[in-house]
Every structure is written in structure tokens, then in C-alpha cells.
């Protein structure tokens, strides 16, 4: 195991197509409070669900590599399911810094579901990828997995974070397949969705278990920082502040209140 320079603040780069990575950043801040977080939102390329795979891979690698020239990051978290399902091999080939990706939490959902009926709410791109099929086959082969790939929910959440109302009646209609399938467990397979867990819980009161990938990603990141030589105890004892959020395209100021509420400021 390596030994990190004493007293150095660990730096984590969190990447998403939009502000969804902040749901993962929230978990990182809880589990690794000593780390300084830089969140990059590729709002110029948002939403990734509509982009060809090559474009998503190219944008992810380019924007992450640009950041690596700016700061000595210790871990990169691709906090986007849509990008993680295609861009991780290229990113890992481009850098030696450990890369953590996000995949829909099918395995933990299968571990908790009692009636073996699981719902997956994700972007249409994530629902389509063969990667998902493999996950279900490997970890939830005995479950019915009802999949809803919602084309607009990420955009609704981006708008909601800027103070606009969530179209709850339309969202409720989109969630109907989960009621019909009587799922007892719902996987939030897009990092934007945990930002509105309360709304989703209100619309689906019959769902008993809500699963997303945030805590597992934060645990894995903590482990990688320890492997890089940071003291695990200090990582959890000290509090870092000054988390930054960068955007690849123009941003409206109306996002600042939301960023402040989750402990980030725009740079």
C-alpha cells in the first residue's frame, strides 16, 4: 500500500452529464468528509440518453482528462449510469487514477426484494444497454424486473433544481407499470433520481425498498483512497469544505440556490 503525503486533502472528481452526480457527491461527503469534491456537469452535452455511445465516451474522456491537468485528483467517480455503461474502458485506458463507475443497483435490490418483483427506473439509454441484461441475468435471474426508461425525467429534475415545479401527474402516469407489476423494490438507475426520492416515494407508497448506488460508490471510493495511502480514520474524521461544481456550457444563475443547499458552489 502507498502512503499519501501527510496532511494532503484527498481530491475526488465527480462527473455527470448534469447535476445528478450531486446525489453521489452527497454520499461521498457523508462517508469521506475529509475529501474535497469537484463535480463536473457536462451540461453542454446533456442529456446523454439522446447521444450516440461514441459521443458519450468521447465527451466523458475529454472533460475528465481536462480536469486532470488542473488538479492532482486521487479518484475519479463517473457518477452517471449512462456514461458508465459505455465510457469506463476508454477512461481507464487514458489514466492510471482509479475510476469508479455507477451501474444500476440490481444486485442490492435482488438481495432485499421479498416478492422477487423489482422495478428499475432509468434513462431509455440505460434500459437499452446489454450491460443491464447481463446484470439482471447475473444477480436477479429469479426476479421479474419491470423496466421503465423515462425520456424526460432527467430534464424535469434539472428544471426542478432551478425552481420549476415537478410535473407530478405526468410522472405518476409514467410510474404506473411499477404499480401494475406490484414491485416491492425500486432501483433508481439514474443518478438524478435520488435527488427527488421523496416525490417518488409519495407517488409509489406501496414500494417498500428503495435502492440506489450512492452509498456503495462512496464505500468503494473510501477503500480506494485508503489503498492510495490516506488514513481511513482521518478521511472520516475531518471535514472538508469548498466543494466546487463546474459546467461545460453556459449556466443560469438560478441553479446557485440548489448548489448551495447541497454544499457546492459554482465556479
Residue 200 CA to residue 203 CA, distance in Å, equals 5
C-alpha cell at 259: 448548489
Name residues contacting ligand DGL, limited to 124-163 (CB under 6 A).
126, 154
47 upstream amide cis, omega within 30 of 0: yes
Task: Single out the segment in contact with ligand DGL by CB under 6 A; choices: 3-11, 14-22, 163-171, 178-186.
Answer: 14-22
The answer to the question of residue 110 lying near ligand DGL (CB under 6 A) is no
Residue 141 has what DSSP assignment?
T
Residue 190 a catalytic site member: yes
Q: Rounded to whole angstroms, how far apart are CA atoms 91 and 82?
A: 14
- Using CB under 6 A as the binding rule, whether residue 81 contacts ligand DGL is answered as yes
Q: List Cβ neighbours of 96 (8 Å cut-off, separation of 6 or more).
A: none
Residue 48 interacts with ligand DGL (CB under 6 A)?
yes
Q: Does 194 bind ligand DGL (CB under 6 A)?
A: no
**Contact criterion met (CB below 8 Å) for 96 and 162:** no
Among this protein's residues, is 143 annotated catalytic? Answer: no
Binding residues with ligand DGL: total (CB under 6 A): 17
The interface with ligand DGL within residues 204-243 (CB under 6 A) comprises none
Choose the binding region for ligand DGL from 12-20, 27-35, 62-70, 211-219 (rule: CB under 6 A). Answer: 12-20
Helix (H) / strand (E) element for 145: namely strand 144-149
* Cα three-residue angle 93-99-101, rounded to 5 degrees: 110
Catalytic, out of 27, 80, 143, 245: 80
Establish if 191 lies at the interface with ligand DGL (CB under 6 A): yes
Using CB under 6 A, pick the residue from 10, 49, 108, 149 that binds ligand DGL.
Answer: 49
- For ligand DGL, which residue of 43, 57, 60, 123 counts as binding (CB under 6 A)? 123
CA distance 152 to 109: 24
Phi and psi at 39, nearest 5°, equal -105, 125
Does 82 help bind ligand DGL (rule: CB under 6 A)? Answer: yes
Distance of CA 219 to the CA centre of its chain: 14
Active site residues: 80, 190
Residues that bind ligand DGL (CB under 6 A): 16-18, 20, 46-49, 80-82, 123, 126, 154, 190-192
Amino acid at each position: 500500500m502507498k502512503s499519501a503525503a501527510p496532511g494532503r486533502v484527498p481530491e475526488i472528481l465527480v462527473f455527470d452529464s448534469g447535476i445528478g452526480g450531486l446525489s453521489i457527491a452527497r454520499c461521498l461527503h457523508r462517508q469521506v468528509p475529509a475529501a474535497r469534491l469537484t463535480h463536473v456537469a457536462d451540461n453542454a452535452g446533456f442529456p446523454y440518453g439522446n447521444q450516440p455511445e461514441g459521443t458519450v465516451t468521447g465527451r466523458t474522456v475529454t472533460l475528465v482528462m481536462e480536469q486532470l491537468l488542473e488538479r492532482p485528483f486521487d479518484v475519479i467517480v463517473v457518477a452517471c449510469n449512462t456514461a458508465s455503461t459505455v465510457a469506463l474502458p476508454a477512461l481507464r485506458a487514458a489514466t492510471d487514477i482509479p475510476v469508479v463507475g455507477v451501474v444500476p443497483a440490481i444486485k442490492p435490490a435482488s438481495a432485499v426484494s421479498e416478492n422477487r418483483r423489482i422495478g428499475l427506473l432509468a434513462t431509455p439509454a440505460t434500459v437499452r444497454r446489454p450491460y443491464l441484461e447481463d446484470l439482471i441475468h447475473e444477480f436477479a435471474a429469479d426476479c421479474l424486473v419491470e423496466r421503465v426508461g423515462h425520456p424526460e425525467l432527467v430534464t424535469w429534475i434539472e428544471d426542478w433544481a432551478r425552481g420549476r415545479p415537478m410535473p407530478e401527474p405526468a410522472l405518476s402516469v409514467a410510474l404506473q407499470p411499477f404499480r401494475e407489476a406490484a414491485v416491492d423494490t425500486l432501483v433508481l438507475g439514474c443518478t438524478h433520481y435520488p435527488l427527488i426520492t421523496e416525490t417518488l416515494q409519495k407517488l409509489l407508497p406501496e414500494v417498500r425498498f428503495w435502492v440506489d448506488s450512492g452509498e456503495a460508490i462512496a464505500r468503494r471510493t473510501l477503500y480506494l483512497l485508503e489503498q492510495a495511502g490516506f488514513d481511513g480514520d482521518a478521511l472520516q474524521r475531518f471535514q472538508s469544505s469548498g466543494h466546487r461544481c463546474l459546467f461545460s456550457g453556459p449556466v443560469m444563475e438560478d441553479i446557485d440556490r440548489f448548489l448551495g443547499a447541497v454544499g457546492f458552489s459554482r465556479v
